[in-house]
Structure formats: structure tokens, C-alpha cells
Amino acid sequence: MPVTKIGIVGCAGRMGQMLVRVATATEGCLVAAGSERPGSPSIGKDIGALAGIEPLGIAVTDDPKALFGPCHVVLEFSSPAATVRHAGLAAAAGTAHVIGTTGLDAAQSAAVEKAAKKIPIVWAPNMSQGITLLTELVRRVAGALGPAWDIEILEMHHRHKMDAPSGTALALGEAAAAGRKVDLPAVAKRTRDGQVGARAAGEIGFAVLRGGDVAGEHSVLFVGEGERIELSHKASNREIFARGAIRAALWAREQRPGLYRMKDVLGLTGW
């Protein structure tokens, strides 16, 4: 197996450290570079030592350009603005890019799609292999049951999460809407408060919980007259996201330019 050189944006953060540990332990992977924002106290420190493993002899840099070019694939769970900048760097260097960032707006999403015309990009709001399968199941169940069944999506994350609903919850909503052959923005109900009236037919509702150190919990409820189906996924730690991202990185290196999802990585396209 050829060695895949991995670069990690935000390598000193919780997710970045997990990526370093999982990549180092994965056959065929070599952590080759890592970056942090300018002014971070981690600049100049050893990437391995920061992640709680043996030193790797690689210092954290504040120059993201150092990741693109020397590395075959760069992994990123960061902010939308940073992700757009880095997608441009990846396209210019010909480096595959694996993106787990959520909360991108339409213009930022379009910028990532533009970069994917030059390089392979795997972009998923949740890198969990289990969530990927759940998303496909939601699409199929929504299509089979039809609009007579109400759909509600419930998600919970740790108190530090910045965006709501989570990118994963929105992706599950998109899957449900696709199954019904409707556009999610036209049927989504993101908040309910006060005298909101009866539930509209065909609505896809979202509920958000935040607290503690919850890594991520998502449930999709299909509620009919006298019966209910619940499809759920619970993450007990962030390693599942790192494992999925590393699998995506090894897969992406061998692909042609294009925008890919985790279902492509898992071979679920065409389900």
C-alpha cells in the first residue's frame, strides 16, 4: 500500500488531535504537516506531542500553504471562511481535500464546488460511517412512507457547538426531502415557540438540544397515525469522525477531480 501523506488543519484542537492519533495508527498513513491559526500557543510545538502520542518531529505551522503541495490529502474541520480559503489553496496545489466543516452559506458552498473542478474533495457534514448509512436509510424510508407521515429531526451536541441545527441534522433533512421529492427550504420548520398553530402537512421539523460534552446524537422520527418509526445514531466519542475522515482521505487520493460525499467513499452511490 502506498503511503499517503496527510496534512491536518487545526491540528491542536480536539478534533485535530484525534485526527493525528488515528492517522498515525492507520496503515498507509503518514502525518506530514499540521497548521493552527496565527497566534496560537501551539505554533512551533510537535504535532505528535500535542496529540498525546510520541513526538513526530513535525512542528505546527501558522502557514496553511505548508500543508498543500507536500501532502497528498489535507483534512479540515474548521470554520467556513477558513475552509473556503483552504479549498482554493488545495485546488492551486493539486492536493485532495477532505472537509468536515459545517455552516457554509450558499456562496461559500459554491466556492468549494468550484475548487472541486480541479481536485477531488470529499465534503460531508458528518464523517461517521454510521451517519452516512443512516442518511441513506432516511431517504429511502421517507420515500416509501410518503407525506402522510410527519417527520421530525432531533439533534443534541456539546455546549460548545457553534451552529444549529447541526450540519448533520440538515443533511438528514435534505435526505428526507429528497425521498419525498421536495425542496427542504420549502418544508423545513426550524423553530416553534408560542401559539404556532397546528403542524402543517408535509413539514419537516427540527429540534435542537445543547449541553455537556455530547459528541453527537441524531434521531429522525417518522410519525403516523397509531405508529412511529425512529432511526437514531449516537456518537460516544469523536474517534468515529476521525476514522471516517481517514478512510475518506485514503479513498480521495485515488479519485479524479470532483465533489464527493461519504456515501461515495462507502460505495453507497445508487442506493
Q: Residues with catalytic annotation?
A: 157, 161
Instruction: Compute CA distances 152 → 6, 51, 142, 164, 177, whole Å.
Output: 38, 38, 11, 15, 12
User: Rounded to whole angstroms, how far apart are CA atoms 205 and 191?
Assistant: 8
Q: Are strands 216-224 and 150-157 parallel, antiparallel or unpaired?
A: antiparallel
Residues 6+ apart with CB under 8 A from 226: none
204-235 burial, b at 16+ Cβ within 10 Å, e below that, comes to bbbbbeeeeebbbbbbbbbeeeeeeeeeebeb
Q: Are strands 96-99 and 120-123 parallel, antiparallel or unpaired?
A: parallel
User: Rounded to whole angstroms, how far apart are CA atoms 46 and 54?
Assistant: 9
Q: Are strands 188-189 and 204-210 parallel, antiparallel or unpaired?
A: parallel
